[in-house]
Chains A and B, each alone.
Chain A
Amino acid sequence: MSDQVTVTINGKEIKVPEGTLIIQAAKMAGIDIPHLCYCECLPSTGSCRVCLVEVEGGKGLVASCAQKVKNGMVVDTDTEKVREARRFVLELILSNHPGDCMSCDKNGACDLQKYAYELGIEKTSFSMKDPGYDVDRSNPFIERNYNLCILCGRCVRICKQQGADIIDFVKRGMVTKVATPMDRPLQESGCDFCGSCLAVCPVGALVEVDRRFCGREWEMKETKTVCSYCGCGCELVFSTVDGQIMRATGEVSCDYICSKGRFGWDFVESSERITKPLIKKDGVLTESTYEEAIKVVAERLIDIKKKHGANSIGGFMGAGNTNEVAYLFQKFLRAGIGTNNIDSSARFLGFPALIDLYEALRDGAVVSMKDVEEADVLLLVNADLTASYPRVGASVKKAILNGAKVVVIDSKKTEISELADLHIEPQVDSEEFVLSGILKELLEENLHDEKFTKKCKNFDEFKKSLDGLKVETIEKETKTSKDFLKEAAKLYGEGKKTIILFGAETVSSQSMGLIADIALLTGRTKASVLPCLLSSNLRGTIYMGALAGFYPGARRANEIGNDFKKIWERDLPDEMGLSAMEMVENMGSSVLGMYIVGADPVAQFPNSSKVAKAFSSLDFLVVQDVFLTETAKMADVVLPGATLAESNGTVVNLEYQTKEVKAALEPLAKPDWETIADLSERMDYTMEYSSEKEIAKEIKSLVPIPKKIEKNTYDFIVVKPKKSGEEPDGKYPYALIVGETSFGFYDGQRTRNSKLSILELNKGNYAGFNPEDAESLSLKEGDAVLISSRRGKITTSVKMLGSLPKGLLFMPSCHEERGVLASDNVDSKLKSPQHRLIAVSVSKGGASK
């Protein structure tokens, strides 16, 4: 290859690509050059001078992290001259590093210590200077001791690259320091607490507060597993000492991990965890033994089944359990109990994205983070990436740094929209019109792929439907000029590698259809649409069949024939099964017993007061969860659940990659699958598995998760755009949307029990107002406010959010009472409530919590 050059390092000849840095070339040759400021994933600054090497024929020593190789270059990394220089540099650094290795948590993992030791430096020969800075212990996540800082600048660079860009060097000379603007604490400086700075700090200046004095580096046991928060499914490495988590990091120090991944795991160690089974006796949940609890549940369920039939029992689970648990749970209900009444949170979190969209695009809807980073045009639809799916947000930021153009369609401002080339801020709930408008403009500007569309047999029908939609209608509904739509169409249409990203739980299924159409119209059928998923195993939960109407393999219940009957050795119910909201509807009448795993329907389902009433009319309710949720409080029996950090198995992330979950800690009680299997055993449906691996084997034999499926013929999805939320009116003049926040997550169950909650106003129990709206209602930050919808009312606190347009209110999804206001109007086809937009009224006052 022509772009290869030959260099000799320490007498070893090696061919490396042109443009390689000496330090990288040395690494390829298996030679490690000591370095402090250099970091593989960051631009070099050549500031620490520890990586000095000798280059034959060169003047003086060169910094190997800043110098690129040249053909024929002869480099020596370990001569006496080099060592002497390094010693000198290290002694200078040490003269300003009044560290006490004895009590430093980095002891054993500190690069400065390592190199000083390697070069035999006992003490610096310069006079020591103690900078005398106060140690910043003002936040419970990152301890900042700048007395130990060696000013390598890695934290500054990584904060710019993947953090909030809030630190830099300040002042100069001996008093230079890394600081935030005005040297404020991190929590007052807009820090997003991704902790990337912690991961790259080579010394003890930045240390996780959680591990301070709790365990030495060499005592740590590392377990590679998957984060339990959003659907990004980032790989996490938990370091534990004596069964206690010390820290969570990425596999490589530079890997981006969001605040929830890095610091939000502490809910696992919360004192609020359920550790023992509880049985309701005289109206009070009382601790009992595992055996007794299982016995009671089995007896009661058998009793209900005997009296009222199997279909009087239903099951519901969250979408954050492993594939193995999801599979076993639906198997237990379908084969063990004999009902198809099984549903999951996937119903509420955008399952059409994973069934309909996947059917429409196949490979096209399978996109990796790497694809996102390499794209040249990104179109974001209703996706607050950095708050909801932070890893995707980081990839988009990286793409922007690489020069990608970004178009954002969102009624409110987001972190990414501020960086975007074009931000279309349509009237709330009019995305379908915006997307239709972009389709029209793509056609008008001749940016569609004619060769491809000719192959789609319903193109004419699709075009006719679009032609029927007037531009005036679009402009009226979206309150957006068609010029913006044209610009968006041009940016997207002219892009080479384009990806459309959207929040699966934030766009309507019609919008999803339109998004697929945009990709198809431009002939982009490979890795072109990425549905962003909120739950850690949304894909897996659906694929395992924990969704009414679908069996494992996402096979429709009416098309399975005898396949499952044979393997499960039981007759399977003929009915399609009730979806979540249908079960709620029928509670107390035809549905009498419920088994809930890892979900809190009473707090989560829309119109929660009605849901609570429905649950209270049940004959028997068993909840298996890690916390005493609102639903668990109503249960007759509560079984302790396991967190993902205590589980083994697999999950499927939003990239459609199957990831291995490994227990970093022992479960407090039992793994979830064992509890389900024990219960099944008691109900005379034997599930003999020695470990979750055997369940995985059974799944694999039944419905192996396909790698990728090619598709040859495509059809457009003909959509008549409409608004699907509640329209604000005279009585309820404001629109409210529920969404994710940076430090809250989904139902808040986990973040509320984590230190992260201190970073959200009132632990996320607030409503966000546009400052102008707040002024017209004479509301100030922190005021108590009464918000009412057609379903109910809540009192909460006011938070000013400049990111909101006038007339739109925002409520964090982790708000404890978010379900009270939402509408339970069910979309007849999806059987899932369309609760994105809620019409509300606002009045000042009420007792704020």
Chain B
Amino acid sequence: MSNCVCGTKKEEKKIQIDVDDVHKLLKKYEGKTGVLVHALQDVQEEFGFLPEESLEVIADEFDLSLAHVYGVASFYAHFYFTPRGKNIIKVCTGTACYVRGSKLILEGLEEELGIKAGETTDDLEFTLETVSCVGCCALAPVVVVNENVSKERNPKKIISALKNKGEENDE
């Protein structure tokens, strides 16, 4: 089982994982049933998404078909099957935000990052998503950056702030 082939996450979008890590995560579920979603959550927390190999391990460990595991995981919008960026930018396209111009922010971000909503940049730095409402319509239009509601609405500035922060952290 030990065939570690961890690639550097930044270089390529296809992330390979060590299946041993998945086995370790699943250890606590040994002999239990009805824990599939918990296991999926744990794996996603570890890797940021659900790598295909991890689903195979889960199916194997829980004696379920891969089709079933994928079926369950894909049911929830919360689970992702492709790697996600370090920074998650969510643009609200709910009614209030929409009428106050969130479409323009989204288009600006798409242009700035060179990706479409729902995609992740090749360097795995940014994931751009839309949400339907985050519950603070008074602040519309709202952009949520890494779980924080951002005051900034200029796409260029949103990105550059994140990039600068990233560099500071790197130093």
List residues of chain A with CB under 8 Å of any chain B CB: 159-160, 165-172, 179-182
B82–chain A nearest beta-carbon distance, Å: 10
- Asked if residues A181 and B75 are in contact (CB atoms below 8 Å), the reply is no
A160 to B66, CA, bound (A): 11
B136 at interface, CB cutoff 8 A: no
- One of A167, A168, A179, A182 near B81 (C-beta < 8 A): A182
Which residues from chain A contact B75 at a C-beta distance below 8 Å?
A: 170-172
Which residues from chain B contact A159 at a C-beta distance below 8 Å?
A: 67
B69–chain A nearest beta-carbon distance, Å: 7
- Asked if residues B65 and A166 are in contact (CB atoms below 8 Å), the reply is yes
Which residue of B is nearest A170, CB measured? B74
Which residues from chain A contact B67 at a C-beta distance below 8 Å?
A: 159, 165-168, 180-181
- Asked if residues B70 and A170 are in contact (CB atoms below 8 Å), the reply is yes
B52 at interface, CB cutoff 8 A: yes
- Asked if residues A169 and B65 are in contact (CB atoms below 8 Å), the reply is no
Which residues from chain B contact A168 at a C-beta distance below 8 Å?
A: 65, 67-68, 70-71
Which residues from chain B contact A160 at a C-beta distance below 8 Å?
A: 65
B142 at interface, CB cutoff 8 A: no
Which residues of B from 43 to 80 have beta carbons under 8 Å from A? 52, 55, 65-71, 74-75
- Asked if residues A182 and B65 are in contact (CB atoms below 8 Å), the reply is no
User: What are some 13 contacts across the A-B interface (CB < 8 A)?
Assistant: A165-B65, A165-B68, A166-B67, A168-B67, A168-B70, A168-B71, A171-B74, A181-B52, A181-B55, A181-B66, A182-B52, A182-B70, A182-B81
A166 to B69, CA, bound (A): 11
Which residue of A is nearest B68, CB measured? A168
Among B68, B70, B74, residue most surrounded by chain A Cβ atoms (within 10 Å): B74
A171 to B71, CA, bound (A): 7
Which residue of B is nearest A171, CB measured? B74
Among A160, A170, A181, residue most surrounded by chain B Cβ atoms (within 10 Å): A181
A580 to B74, CA, bound (A): 59
Task: Report the 7 A-B pairs with minimum CB-CB distance, sorted nearest first.
Answer: A168-B71, A181-B70, A168-B67, A170-B74, A165-B65, A181-B66, A172-B75
Which residues from chain A contact B81 at a C-beta distance below 8 Å?
A: 182
Which residue of B is nearest A176, CB measured? B75
A166 to B66, CA, bound (A): 7
Which residues from chain B contact A165 at a C-beta distance below 8 Å?
A: 65, 67-68
Which residues from chain B contact A172 at a C-beta distance below 8 Å?
A: 75
| 0/1 interface trace, chain B 94-116, chain A, CB 8 Å (1 if under) | 00000000000000000000000
Which residue of B is nearest A166, CB measured? B67
Interface size on B, as a range, is 10 to 19
Among A159, A167, A168, A171, residue most surrounded by chain B Cβ atoms (within 10 Å): A168
A188–chain B nearest beta-carbon distance, Å: 12
A182 to B59, CA, bound (A): 14
- Asked if residues B71 and A170 are in contact (CB atoms below 8 Å), the reply is yes
| 0/1 interface trace, chain B 19-33, chain A, CB 8 Å (1 if under) | 000000000000000
A179 to B81, CA, bound (A): 15
A165 to B65, CA, bound (A): 7
B67–chain A nearest beta-carbon distance, Å: 4
Which residues from chain A contact B71 at a C-beta distance below 8 Å?
A: 168-170
A167 to B67, CA, bound (A): 5
Which residue of B is nearest A159, CB measured? B67
Which residue of B is nearest A180, CB measured? B67
Besides A168-B68, A181-B52, 19 other A-B contacts (C-beta < 8 A): A160-B65, A165-B65, A165-B67, A165-B68, A166-B65, A166-B66, A166-B67, A168-B71, A169-B71, A170-B70, A170-B74, A170-B75, A171-B74, A171-B75, A172-B75, A181-B55, A181-B67, A181-B69, A182-B52
B83–chain A nearest beta-carbon distance, Å: 14
A337 to B67, CA, bound (A): 61
Which residue of A is nearest B75, CB measured? A172
Which residues from chain A contact B55 at a C-beta distance below 8 Å?
A: 181
A398 to B171, CA, bound (A): 62
A166 to B74, CA, bound (A): 15
Which residue of B is nearest A156, CB measured? B67
B31–chain A nearest beta-carbon distance, Å: 18
Which residues from chain A contact B52 at a C-beta distance below 8 Å?
A: 181-182
A849–chain B nearest beta-carbon distance, Å: 31
A101 to B75, CA, bound (A): 31
A160 to B71, CA, bound (A): 13
Which residues from chain B contact A182 at a C-beta distance below 8 Å?
A: 52, 70, 81
A750–chain B nearest beta-carbon distance, Å: 31
Among B66, B71, B75, residue most surrounded by chain A Cβ atoms (within 10 Å): B71
Among B52, B55, B67, B70, residue most surrounded by chain A Cβ atoms (within 10 Å): B67
A165 to B52, CA, bound (A): 17
B66–chain A nearest beta-carbon distance, Å: 4
Which residues from chain B contact A179 at a C-beta distance below 8 Å?
A: 70
A171 to B65, CA, bound (A): 16
A179 to B65, CA, bound (A): 13
B71–chain A nearest beta-carbon distance, Å: 3
A168 to B55, CA, bound (A): 14
Which residue of A is nearest B76, CB measured? A172
A179 to B52, CA, bound (A): 15
B57–chain A nearest beta-carbon distance, Å: 13
A169 to B67, CA, bound (A): 8
A738 to B2, CA, bound (A): 31
Which residue of A is nearest B66, CB measured? A181
A245–chain B nearest beta-carbon distance, Å: 31
Among B52, B55, B66, residue most surrounded by chain A Cβ atoms (within 10 Å): B66
A168 to B75, CA, bound (A): 11
Which residues from chain A contact B65 at a C-beta distance below 8 Å?
A: 160, 165-166, 168
Which residue of A is nearest B55, CB measured? A181
A310–chain B nearest beta-carbon distance, Å: 61
A159 to B71, CA, bound (A): 14
A62–chain B nearest beta-carbon distance, Å: 27
A180 to B55, CA, bound (A): 13
A181 to B69, CA, bound (A): 8
Which residue of A is nearest B74, CB measured? A170
B81–chain A nearest beta-carbon distance, Å: 7
A142–chain B nearest beta-carbon distance, Å: 16
Which residues from chain B contact A171 at a C-beta distance below 8 Å?
A: 74-75
Which residues from chain A contact B74 at a C-beta distance below 8 Å?
A: 170-171
Which residues from chain B contact A167 at a C-beta distance below 8 Å?
A: 67
Which residue of A is nearest B64, CB measured? A165
Which residue of B is nearest A168, CB measured? B71
A43–chain B nearest beta-carbon distance, Å: 15
B163–chain A nearest beta-carbon distance, Å: 32
Which residues from chain B contact A180 at a C-beta distance below 8 Å?
A: 67
A181 to B74, CA, bound (A): 10
Which residues from chain A contact B70 at a C-beta distance below 8 Å?
A: 168, 170, 179, 181-182
Which residues from chain B contact A166 at a C-beta distance below 8 Å?
A: 65-67
Which residues from chain B contact A170 at a C-beta distance below 8 Å?
A: 70-71, 74-75
A63 to B13, CA, bound (A): 48
A182 to B66, CA, bound (A): 10
A159 to B67, CA, bound (A): 11
Which residues from chain A contact B66 at a C-beta distance below 8 Å?
A: 166, 181
A160 to B64, CA, bound (A): 11
Which residues from chain B contact A169 at a C-beta distance below 8 Å?
A: 71
A642–chain B nearest beta-carbon distance, Å: 42
A475–chain B nearest beta-carbon distance, Å: 28
A160 to B67, CA, bound (A): 10
A416–chain B nearest beta-carbon distance, Å: 16
A182 to B50, CA, bound (A): 11
Which residue of B is nearest A172, CB measured? B75
A606–chain B nearest beta-carbon distance, Å: 39
A733–chain B nearest beta-carbon distance, Å: 26
Which residue of A is nearest B69, CB measured? A181
Which residue of B is nearest A160, CB measured? B65
B52–chain A nearest beta-carbon distance, Å: 6
B14–chain A nearest beta-carbon distance, Å: 13
A168 to B72, CA, bound (A): 9
A120–chain B nearest beta-carbon distance, Å: 36
A327 to B67, CA, bound (A): 50
Which residue of A is nearest B73, CB measured? A170
Which residue of A is nearest B52, CB measured? A182
Which residue of A is nearest B71, CB measured? A168
